[in-house]
């Protein structure tokens, strides 16, 4: 019996490509696009296919290892945050500097609004943008 019923997700083998990607992401604090990360890998000497970068970012995101958000023009950007806990972001639209924030009150508010309207399976998107002190 090689089947494991407790397995939470698809098998995921370690590869040099994903390791390099994870490394680059760990070394960065801003939200970057798949293309940005691909370029960063290139300049570091790690050759990784663009499709592979996309695939791994998706995998990491669905595993909760990275956070994703959409820029104003719809581009997906990724960031490996300091915590796996649910949280949100305060992002500088000039330099990309990002602060991880949380707000129990907001979480409650969102849940309550949904409940009051009979909605279930609730999720939410909350991001704050601004210009940080260095501008």
Partner DNA sequence: TCAGGATTGACAATCATTCTCATCTGGAAT
Partner DNA sequence: ATTCCAGATGAGAATGATTGTCAATCCTGA
Find all residues with CB under 8 Å of 2, minimum gap 6, and list them.
none
Nearer to DNA, 50 or 110 (CB): 50
81 binds, among Zn ion, a copy of itself, DNA, none (CB under 5 to 8 A by kind): Zn ion
27: exposed, middle or buried (Cβ count in 10 Å: 0-12, 13-18, 19+): exposed
Residue count at the site for a copy of itself (CB under 8 A)? Answer: 33
Residue 130 C-beta-side C-alpha neighbours within 13 Å:
9
Distance of CA 89 to the CA centre of its chain: 11
- How far is 47 from 44, CA to CA, in rounded Å? 8
- How far is 79 from 111, CA to CA, in rounded Å? 25
Instruction: State the nearest-atom distance from the C-beta of 113 to Zn ion, in Å.
Output: 12
Instruction: State the nearest-atom distance from the C-beta of 28 to DNA, in Å.
Output: 16
83 binds a copy of itself (CB under 8 A): no
Binding residues vs DNA (CB under 7 A): 2, 10-18, 33-35, 47-52, 54-56, 58, 73-76
Binding residues vs a copy of itself (CB under 8 A): 70, 74-76, 90, 92-93, 99, 101, 103, 105-106, 109-110, 113-114, 117-133
């Amino acid at each position: 019996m090689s089947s494991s019923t407790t397995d939470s997700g698809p098998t995921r083998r370690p590869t040099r490509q994903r390791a390099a990607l994870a490394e680059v992401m760990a070394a960065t604090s801003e939200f970057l696009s798949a293309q940005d990360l691909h370029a960063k890998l290139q300049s570091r000497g790690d050759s990784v296919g663009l499709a592979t970068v996309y695939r791994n970012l998706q995998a990491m995101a669905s595993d909760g290892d990275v956070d994703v958000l959409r820029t104003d023009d719809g581009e997906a950007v990724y960031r490996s945050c300091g915590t796996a806990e649910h949280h949100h972001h305060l992002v500088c639209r000039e330099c990309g500097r990002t602060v991880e924030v949380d707000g129990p009150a907001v979480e409650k508010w969102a849940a309550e609004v949904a409940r009051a309207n009979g909605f279930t399976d609730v999720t939410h998107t909350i991001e704050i943008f601004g210009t940080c002190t260095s501008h």
